[in-house]
Structure formats: structure tokens, C-alpha cells
Amino acid sequence: MPIEHVETLIIGGGQAGLTMSHRLKQRGLEHLVLERQRIAERWRSERWDGLRFQFPNWSVRLPDFPYPHSDPDGFATGREIVDFISAYADFIAAPIRCGVSVNALRFRDGGCGFIAETPDGSIEADNVVVATGPYQRPVLPAWLRDDAGVFQVHASRYQNPDQLPDGAVLIVGSGASGAQIAEELLRAGRRVYLSVGRHSRLPRRYRGRDLIWWLREMGLDQTPVEARDPARLLPVISGAYGGHTIDFRRFAADGITLLGRIQAAGNGIFDFADDLAETLRGGDVVYANFLDMVDAHIERHALDMPEEPAVRARLPDPPGVTEPRRRLDISADGIGAVIWATGYGIDFSWIDVPVLDPRGGPIHHHGVTGVPGLYFLGLQWLSKRSLSFLSGVGDDAAGIADYIAARG
């Protein structure tokens, strides 16, 4: 059977793969996008119903395609983001085949270039851009057991409160997903336990502007990967309910039971570390440092922005913080469900080309690997802080398109 040949194969039909397509088209370069399911699949099937985009509408755009909205300060629903990315695919007339998974990628026999294996046959490509996403597989604790006798779901498969059986809910993980799901369940009338880990908390708004405005104004979104602080976590922010600051002490005051980091689970018992007060203090430091940075920036540039001392106010530690519970018993505490908001990992095990480090991550510089013609796009901190986010991926894609154009 003749093997199909394309100049450049883009694997993945999310925002990154589509943006790559646009950048290649702008340079007149032939290419094909393969998407194993549907366009923007992760926004369709791996985000919960109530999730709001965490960037305000005014800031949302793909290259040459701003997000259409009537409320600049509003936050889009997941469905609206799917529609936006799908409309972008139409706008750029992306040459995309959906429902085609690349199951293996290897060198072409005896020459340069690559072979991508799909259920529909092999495709030869001179260049390959891997755009399969920064959040590819759920990370679950090793001691998780299916027979624990309680409904369990990773945040990527959580949909809404009605999906969960009756009873209290334990949420493990206090990043943006865990915090937002905890708030949603509390508002739905659930009893909520939240196991809080190390986190980076930032204000939604300060001195009259949204966080995203400040990140841009101070150039922080352009921080190059070389200046990345590896200890720094993604911020806990929310666009839900109009967008507001996540404050774990406020959660506790509203009725969520905060717990330390989970240490062990078995026989229907969960044990938690005695580190809650310290963890909250760590989040406070990041928060206060950010406010200080904004204040200094305003002063340095003599900007006319209203003061907002209330944003610095700290609620007192509720009793459960100074002496948190260390143990939960599934039956005695009436736990009906556990939600693992324990993050995401990558999976490039299908790539049989020597570009992966011992931990399975690609070795690259700004998405360009040491293997001529092989590129990665859309990973966190590919070249700058902002560039795995929807509105940032266009710059990395342009850089890679220039490399491909230069290869001839």
C-alpha cells in the first residue's frame, strides 16, 4: 500500500496544534493535523461543567482571532472555549483529520524524516510537531486502590456535583482544580473536606485591575524559561462566580474542613500531615509578595491606581487550622466520594525517537529538539511562562514555523 507523505505532520488538534497550522499556512508550508478525537477534546471531556476560563475575556485570543464577547471582564465557560477553538479551526481552514490517533512515531527507514503509525495506515513526514498537550494523563497516588469502598474520581473526570453519590466529599489537592471544585461542592450543599498541599495563591484583582492585566503590565508573563523558579507552582485562581480570589481561610469560615497534606490511605482510613498552618503561611507569602511587587511597580512608574488595603487583610486562623484533623474514616465520617485533584503528567511513550530524558520528558530548547525536524509545542514553560496558555502559544508556534521554513 502506498504510504501517504506530508511535509509537516502536526499531532494534536487543540489550541497548540491549530495555532501551529496557522503559522505554517502563513508561511505557505504544506502540513496536516491529526487529532485522535475531536477539536479541543480536552476542553470537551476533561474539564468539569462549572469550570470558567481563568483569564478574563478581554485577554483571550488566538493569533489573528480575538475571543468574541460582550463582557470584557467576564470569564468564559468551557463550552464557550470549545466553540472558540472550533471557530478558530474554521477561520484558519485547518487541514485537520479528526478521529485519527498517532500510536507510534519512529524514524523513516534508512533516511531522514519520520513515520507516524495510525490505525488508518502510516504517514511519512519530513517534520513532526508534537502538540499533544501539557496535561496528558492524570497523576494518581500510588496507594490508591479501586476496592477502597468509596466512589473515586480524578479531577479530569469530575463533571458536576450530581455525578457524586450522597455524602461528604474529600478533595485531595488544593491547586486551581481542587480549590474550585471544593467551592462548587460547598455551594451545592455538600460537606467538603479539602486536603491542602503547597500552593501559590494570587489575588484575582488588585488596585483596580485583574491579575492577568498585572502579569502583562509587569512583564511577568514574558519571563523566559531560563529564569523559571522550579519551586514556583501554578497559581490558585478562579474565574467562577464572577471571578474572585481563592482564600482557604475564607473556605474554612464558610464551612469547608481544611486538612493537611495526605500521607496515607488504606482500610477506609485517610491520614493527613500536621502541616496545614505552615502550608497556608507559604501561600500567604506568595500572595503578599505579589501585592508588594504591584505596589512597587505603581510607585516606580507613578501610575494613578486606587489603593486597596482590604486585599491585604488576613482572616484569623480558624480552630481547624491551628489543630487540624489528622484522620478521616470513610464510614464514620460519611465520605461518599473522593476527588483526586492531584495534577497531571505527560506520556510520550509512543515516541520511539531518541528525544526523551530518563523521566520521559522531551529534551528541547524552546520546543526544538536535537533531532532535525522534530518539535514540541504547547508544553508548560516551553520558552516563556505564558506560552502554554491559550493566548500565548502563538509565539512559540511562530518560532517553530520559522525553523521548519528554514529547513527548506
Ligand X SMILES: Cc1cc2nc3c(=O)[nH]c(=O)nc-3n(C[C@H](O)[C@H](O)[C@H](O)COP(=O)(O)OP(=O)(O)OC[C@H]3O[C@@H](n4cnc5c(N)ncnc54)[C@H](O)[C@@H]3O)c2cc1C
**In a 10 Å sphere around its CB, with 0-12 CB exposed, 13-18 middle and 19+ buried, how is residue 143 labelled?**
exposed
Angle at 314 between CA 206 and CA 194, to 5 degrees: 100
Q: Which is nearer to ligand X, 378 or 399 (CB)?
A: 378
- Residues 12, 348 contacting (CB under 8 angstroms): no
Instruction: Please report, as residue ranges, which positions from 18 to 37 form the binding site for ligand X (by CB under 6 A).
Output: 34-37
Angle at 383 between CA 358 and CA 75, to 5 degrees: 110
How many Cα atoms within 13 Å fall on the side-chain side of residue 217?
A: 18
Which H or E run includes 126?
A: strand 121-130
In whole angstroms, the minimum distance from the beta carbon of 122 to ligand X comes to 14
Is 352 a binding residue for ligand X by CB under 6 A? The answer is: no
Is 132 a binding residue for ligand X by CB under 6 A? The answer is: yes
Q: How much helix, strand and coil, in percent to the nearest 5, is found in the chain?
A: 30, 25, 45
DSSP conformation class of 359:
T
**Which of 335, 388, 395, 397 touches ligand X by CB under 6 A?**
388
In whole angstroms, the minimum distance from the beta carbon of 218 to ligand X comes to 19
Binding residues for ligand X, how many (CB under 6 A)? 29
In whole angstroms, the minimum distance from the beta carbon of 14 to ligand X comes to 2
- Residues 181, 339 contacting (CB under 8 angstroms): yes
Is 324 a binding residue for ligand X by CB under 6 A? The answer is: no
**Which of 20, 22, 31, 53 touches ligand X by CB under 6 A?**
53
- Region of 188 please: left (phi>0), alpha (psi -120 to 50) or beta: alpha
**Which of 6, 9, 10, 16 touches ligand X by CB under 6 A?**
16
- Residues 353, 365 contacting (CB under 8 angstroms): no
Strand partners, 116: 105, 123
Instruction: Please report, as residue ranges, which positions from 167 to 206 form the binding site for ligand X (by CB under 6 A).
Output: 177
Q: Which is nearer to ligand X, 236 or 328 (CB)?
A: 236
- Contact pattern from residue 254 through residue 293 relative to ligand X, giving x for each residue in contact according to CB under 6 A and a dash for the rest: ----------------------------------------
In whole angstroms, the minimum distance from the beta carbon of 304 to ligand X comes to 30
In whole angstroms, the minimum distance from the beta carbon of 93 to ligand X comes to 18
Is 385 a binding residue for ligand X by CB under 6 A? The answer is: no
Is 15 a binding residue for ligand X by CB under 6 A? The answer is: yes
Contacts of 180 (CB under 8 A, 6+ apart): 50, 51, 238, 240, 246
**Which of 133, 161, 373, 399 touches ligand X by CB under 6 A?**
133
Q: Which is nearer to ligand X, 190 or 385 (CB)?
A: 385
**Which of 26, 86, 101, 263 touches ligand X by CB under 6 A?**
101
Q: Which is nearer to ligand X, 87 or 305 (CB)?
A: 87
- Contact pattern from residue 102 through residue 121 relative to ligand X, giving x for each residue in contact according to CB under 6 A and a dash for the rest: x-------------------
DSSP conformation class of 366:
T
Q: φ and ψ at 253, to 5 degrees?
A: -65, -30
In whole angstroms, the minimum distance from the beta carbon of 349 to ligand X comes to 10
Residue 290 CA to residue 199 CA, distance in Å, equals 14
Which H or E run includes 254?
A: helix 248-254
Piece in contact with ligand X (CB under 6 A), picked from 39-47, 295-303, 331-339, 366-374: 39-47
- Residues 33, 377 contacting (CB under 8 angstroms): no
Q: Which residues bind ligand X (CB under 6 A)?
A: 11-17, 34-37, 41-42, 47, 53-55, 101-102, 131-135, 177, 378, 388-390
